[in-house]
Amino acid sequence: MARPGISYLDVAKAAAQLVEQNTNPTIEAVRHILGTGSSGTINRHLRVWREKQGNALEAQKGLPDSLLVAVKGIYDAIHEEASCKVNELKITFENQVNELNMRVDVVHSEKATVENENAHLKSNRDELEKQVAATDLLIADLNRKKENYIRELEFAQQSILDKKEELDRLSKQLTHSHENLDHYRDTIRQERENEKQEIKARAASFDNQLRQYQAKLLELEKVDAVKTNQITQLEATISVCQNKLMSLEQEKAKSENALSCYKVSTDSLKQTNEKLKAEQTNLQTELKNYQVKNQQLMIELEKIRERSKASELSLKKADSKCSELDHKYIHLLQEKMELAAHAKRVESAMNS
């Protein structure tokens, strides 16, 4: 069986491997990994792959070699950054509240000592209360933003975990499918080799039997011709004897002893003729049996060929299933790269 050419999946896997190694996926680099493939074919598949990647490829260039380690690093960085910002906001809010409380205490103490300036102090108190209300609104808004960031972070973490579980499951399924496919290919290849050997052996046996049957048929045809000639000769002899018998009947009175001898000879010739006809019938029956056996052998050979075609069809179905699993694996890698880009956008939003 001829070796098939490279496919888009082969080029996509090689390009993804080069990107994980922080290497630009060129035609020569892809050919070096695959070990085969023409420049035109690699260039066509690589162009399609780059169009599908889009911005996801740029997001993936900054990731480490191991995607799982990279995702965990992003998660830890986001979690640590969020914790630091929450602590900073908490300290800032406590300082502002303490400062406002101190200012309220000062206002109350001054109110006790300067009651004559009650109107002015009341105005100042109203202004301070407005500042406190504005500060409370600011605190509430910051709390809402913090809760939104926390929910978004939790959603991103859950999405990462879900994608990781799905990736592990598909990786195991793909590995198991590859192992089953390799085993199935080896089994089919061995069965086909055995069937080919068996077919060759049977074909050789059939050829030998056919040659034997043909030789025997020729021999039987020769014997039949000889017997036919003998019957013809015997019939001619009988005819001659009958003619002589008719002439001898006219001389019956003169040669009764000779007539008896001719009658005995005629009966013997008739018996010999009947035996030859019976032997010819047996030979024809045996020839028909050989022809029936030959047809049965041809039918069995055709069944063996049909089994070989069915095995090839099963192997093609297994290859199709493996290709479908490879497509799912590539699609999952693209989703993981998009998730990493989304995590970076969340981190940028929290930093801003």
Looking at the predicted structure, is the pLDDT value of residue 59 above 70?
A: no
Work out the pLDDT band at 30, boundaries 50, 70, 90: very high
Residue ranges per structural domain of the chain: 1-53
pLDDT at 55: 46
Task: Indicate the pTM of the whole model.
Answer: 0.24
Work out the pLDDT band at 42, boundaries 50, 70, 90: very high
pLDDT, tens digit, 9 for 90 and up, residues 200-231: 888 688 678 878 868 887 887 887 788 788 76
Reference 34, options 51, 9, 60, 10; nearest CA is 10
pLDDT, tens digit, 9 for 90 and up, residues 272-322: 778 878 887 887 888 788 688 878 878 887 887 788 788 678 778 867 876
Reference 160, options 44, 74, 35; nearest CA is 74
Sequence-distant (6+) residues with CB within 8 A of 289 are none
Tokens of 45: 């598949």
pLDDT at 27: 92
